[in-house]
Amino acid sequence: MMTADNRLIKTDTGAPKRYAALTMNTPITRRTAVSAQLLLQLAAEHGLSAEPCLQGCGLHAKALDDPQLQITAAQELQLVGNLVKHLGHIPALGLCAGLRYPLSAYGIWGFALLTSPNFRAVADWVSRFMDLSYAFVQFRFTDSADGLWVTLHDEHLPPAVRRFLLERDLAACCNILRELRPGGIPIRALTLRGDAPDYADQWTRITGITPQFNAARNAARFDPADADAPLPQANPQLARMALLQCQQLLTQRRQRSGLAAEVRNRLLQTPAQIPGIDTIAADLHRSARTLRRHLQDEGTAFSTLVDEVRQTLAEELLSTANLKLEDVAQRLGYAEPASLIHAFKRWTGQTPDAWRKARLRGLDVPFPQR
């Protein structure tokens, strides 16, 4: 359930243990329970009740009916793990799950995609506000001589759920491509890591193209003409309104509560000299081991909070202060700009310079380069 200020509180005494220690690249924002509801519906159709699906999630099935409920990425990841544990033997389970996600399931983020001028702009919305979706796979966009490539990174995900989440998130994207334009936006090439499954024909049916398996990366290519073609429901005024709402919503969902908020606030006090976990733990009258355990119970980690603080401050300095990159790096405690550039590309998929120029141009944002 939610408090009046939209803070998540646990609905039972269980805590998400199995997948609580997520990597730095996993979404850190809270999310609505829509995705969890869709997954439970999939489970029910295969005869699996909500109880085993929610084991260890810290959630009750009835609580998910609350339209204001927000859950953590760790809780949804635990749900996915339970689903795969019980139903992973079903072929193409992830693909079936992804087809359940209509554009309307994403709220204002989905509306922003729908009102974008073209697919290149859609790619920007995806890059900038991916944490407003339900995806665990990371999407990175690059322009090349043969078109616009979308690379789907899943290396950071737990192996037990990696295939399911790749299938789910890619199938959900195919839904979006079909809703953006009648007839869809065609994928011209698709490469996937790993062996071809027995249900490879399902990939072809959903994506509209036969994938090349055992490839070096998961990636899809779009023709430049398709990426630049106007979308039928484009509306600049509505798109800008959606932009503002997405920014506000992302800020709200990234707000921390509980012990994580205390740690984050302490880190914000000295961004140029980030203290170690031992120092923070002593300030909070805990051992470092206890602090790690409590943060894990809240679905985060000390290193995640350090990155959050640095990313938040970096974006603020790049947006509002006319500072050289060297000065921004120094204020954030980096010994040299190269370290900041490397970290910033890991956070956003863009260099600090490209990110700053993109913000100055508003909706006209270039694609993140890798």
Assess whether pLDDT exceeds 60 at residue 29: yes
The model's pLDDT over 353-362, given as tens digits with 9 standing for 90+, comes to 887 876 665 4
CB of 191 closer than 8 Å to CB of 214: no
* Residue 298: pLDDT band with limits 50, 70, 90: confident
For the record, the structure tokens of 291 come out as: 């602090």
pLDDT of residue 81: 96
The model's pLDDT over 122-158, given as tens digits with 9 standing for 90+, comes to 998 888 888 889 999 999 898 888 899 999 999 989 9
pTM of the complete model: 0.71
CB of 233 closer than 8 Å to CB of 115: yes
pLDDT of residue 99: 97
Helix (H) and strand (E) counts for the chain?
A: 17, 6
pLDDT of residue 255: 65
For the record, the structure tokens of 267 come out as: 């880190």
Assess whether pLDDT exceeds 90 at residue 84: yes
CB of 354 closer than 8 Å to CB of 368: yes
Average of per-residue pLDDT across 172-179:
96
Contacts of 180 (CB under 8 A, 6+ apart): 103, 113, 114, 119, 122, 231, 233
- DSSP track, 263-329: HHHHHHH-TTSPPPHHHHHHHTTS-HHHHHHHHHHTT--HHHHHHHHHHHHHHHHHHH----HHHHH
Q: Is the four-CA dihedral 321, 325, 327, 333 of positive or negative sign?
A: positive
Alpha-carbon radius of gyration of the chain: 21
